[in-house]
């Protein structure tokens, strides 16, 4: 089966601009997670979807970040307006809701650079 895919792989934008990151989870995975790694620090949880519903968005830094998952398939994470501290690698992960071992499968990440 195809893995988790993320687009773009790398984005360079100026402070104040808007960027939208996309994640396509593994087909059939109801759970979708967004994480972020700022340079040299740990990977931190941002939010969790179950199908199209946000279950936990406690990790979202502020209201400049907006995540959506229309139809319970792919998800987008929009940053508007971007700030310098938003630079980092944004990871998406998906997992099944039932059956299997529930591990999260991660995508390759989107490296966001805000200048």
Partner 1 sequence: AQKVTQAQTEISVVEKEDVTLDCVYETRDTTYYLFWYKQPPSGELVFLIRRNSFDEQNEISGRYSWNFQKSTSSFNFTITASQVVDSAVYFCALSEAVLNFGNEKLTFGTGTRLTIIP
Render 41-100 in DSSP notation, one character per residue: S-EEEEEEEETTEEEE-TT--STTEEEE-GGGS-EEEEESS--GGG-EEEEEEEE-SSST
Size of the site for partner 1 (CB under 8 A): 33
Q: Does 88 bind partner 1 (CB under 8 A)?
A: no
Nearest to 1 by CA among 100, 71, 109: 100
Restricting to residues 9-38, name those near partner 1 by CB under 8 A: 30-31, 33, 35
Site for partner 1 in 45-84 (CB under 8 A): 45, 48, 50, 55-56, 59
Q: How many CB atoms lie within 10 A of CB 56?
A: 13
Least distance CB 110 / partner 1 (angstroms): 10
Q: Given the rule CB under 8 A, which residues bind partner 1?
A: 3-4, 30-31, 33, 35, 40-45, 48, 50, 55-56, 59, 89, 91, 93, 95-98, 101-109
């Amino acid at each position: 089966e195809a893995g988790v895919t993320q687009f773009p792989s790398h984005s360079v934008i100026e402070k104040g601009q808007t960027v939208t990151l996309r994640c396509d989870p593994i087909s059939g995975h109801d759970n979708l997670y967004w994480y972020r790694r700022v340079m040299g620090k740990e990977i931190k949880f941002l939010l969790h979807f179950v199908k199209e519903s946000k279950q936990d968005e406690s990790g979202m830094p502020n209201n400049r970040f907006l995540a959506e998952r229309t139809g319970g398939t792919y998800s987008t994470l929009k940053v508007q307006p971007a700030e310098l501290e938003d630079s980092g690698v944004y990871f998406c992960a998906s997992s099944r809701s039932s059956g299997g071992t529930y591990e999260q499968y991660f995508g390759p990440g989107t490296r966001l650079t805000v200048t």
